[in-house]
Structure 1
Amino acid sequence: MNTILRKSILGVAGLAFTGGVFAGPIAAHADTPAHTGTKPVTAAASVQGEQSTIALNDEQTANVKAIIAATKKAGLPERAAVVSIATALQESKLENLGHLGDRNDHDSLGLFQQRPSSGWGTPEQITDPEYSTLAFLKGLKQVDGWQDMPLTKAAQ
């Protein structure tokens, strides 16, 4: 398993474990800026508590690989792939969902549950993993400081 895939899966395992709402014991001990004089310093933190893993089926694994490939194509860092995978895990369980009627939000489609009516693209585009990832990344790049945000905030 390649390094980005392994790190991404491990990175989002905690998100899957907590349902993406709260990062559990990590959040309570997250890196917090400590100020000394005029220079901010980051205090180191470690993961605490029991860790979890998730098992991915073939479709989910293929979608993770597609997200990683699209992130590399966009020339973005590994962190962007982790945020993208975490978002897709939360939105669709890494499954490329078609329209589910009342079981999902309006006309939301694909890995990221993007909506054609909100300008994300056509249904065909949104259900293409590469296209939907690149569209998500375009939006992510517009969020100031996404690289340093907690995963749960950047994924929103």
Structure 2
Amino acid sequence: MSEPTRLSRPARRGRAARFAAGLAVLLGLVAYVTVHYVTGSKGAPRCTIGSGSNRYEFTPEQASNAATIAAVGTSRGLPERAVTIALATALQESALRNIEHGDRDSLGLFQQRPSMGWGTPEQILDPVYSSGRFYEGLEKVPGYSRLPLTVAAQKVQRSGFPQAYAKHEPDATLLSAALTGRAPAALTCTADVKEGRPGDPARIRAELIRAFGEETAPKPVTPGAGSGAAAGGAAVTAPPVELSVPVRPTTATRDRRGWELAQWAVARAGELRIAEVSFGDHVWIADDASGDWSPARSKSTDGSTVRIRLAR
């Protein structure tokens, strides 16, 4: 009986030592995460709308696609309800990802099928085109804005699971309120643009025009005098490229249109290499770990323009 007793004690001590070592590693990891959180270190880029239980968190890719869907809808003069229906549909069909596969030959954000006349594969994989085709179908549905979302979406999509659209309506409602400008500063995003290629003014201009129309063609902002030199005449890094996007009311007020453009820019900041967006007395900065909009030190624009500063 004594021999097994002698063997069991070291085994217990070994388990205790392994437990203590594992606990030490876990505590070290918790401390590491806590320190990085408190000091403002950023994790993977993310976007958020809402708060508490009424909150939707998504990736920059999803945010970019959602912003495109919303922009195409408002540029067609459609109401917010149409944008909500489109976003809920894309959430169900692709989780707001521009996927190159699906049931049979289905593709893209709305899982449209080339064989059913939605367009070529290349066209369907263009978010602007596919969004436009969805809205074309929706506009043909009599009284779509008064129909239950599942009914309106199903009349366009002809899905085998029409009730599945309903579960996405709360998130789609949050998204559409922000991305159509009704909920100012509601979209918060983090973006890492410190390293990599600089922002391309020509690409941003092209993307704005494709999504919103020629009236949003931005103009470069002329740097202030002396901004390229420090005191004493020493040369410093060239100032960041800035663009000024005109805010011209369409079917909405100027303030709402401005927020629509500003939050579109934030949603697409990572993809388009945007470092800062400002509208009115609010500013969003990619370097801010919170991703929130903040009050500007001085009013950045008079409400007639949205300022976009590109990464360099």
Question: Does TM, scored on the shorter chain, surpass 0.5?
Answer: yes
Q: How does 1:11-30 map to 2 (within 5 A)?
A: none
Specify the alignment match of 1:92 in structure 2: 94
- Identity, % of aligned positions: 54
> CA deviation digits over 1:104-125, x for unaligned, max 9?
3100000000000000001111
Specify the alignment match of 1:58 in structure 2: 60
Residues 1:110 and 2:112 aligned together: no
Which amino acid is the alignment partner of residue 63 of structure 2?
T
Q: Specify which structure has the higher proportion of strand.
A: 2
Higher RCO, 1 vs 2 (CA within 8 Å, ≥6 residues apart): 1
4+ runs deviating over 2 angstroms:
50-54
Could you tell me how far apart the structure 2 residues matched to 1:56 and 1:155 are?
A: 22
> CA deviation digits over 1:10-42, x for unaligned, max 9?
7xxxxxxxxxxxxxxxxxxxxxxxxxxxxxxxx
Specify the alignment match of 2:74 in structure 1: 72
Task: Give the Å deviation of 1:150.
Answer: 1.4
Secondary structure, counterpart of 2:57 in structure 1: coil
Could you tell me how far apart the structure 2 residues matched to 1:146 and 1:53 are?
A: 26
- Structure 2, unmatched stretches of 5+, are 1-47, 155-312
Could you tell me how far apart the structure 1 residues matched to 2:71 and 2:107 are?
A: 20
Aligned length: 106
Query: TM-score, normalized by length of structure 1?
Result: 0.63
Residues 1:151 and 2:153 aligned together: no
Task: Give the Å deviation of 1:75.
Answer: 1.5
Which amino acid is the alignment partner of residue 131 of structure 2?
T
- Structure 1, unmatched stretches of 5+, are 1-5, 11-49
Which amino acid is the alignment partner of residue 78 of structure 1?
E
Specify the alignment match of 2:281 in structure 1: none
Task: Give the Å deviation of 1:54.
Answer: 2.7
Could you tell me how far apart the structure 2 residues matched to 1:97 and 1:145 are?
A: 31
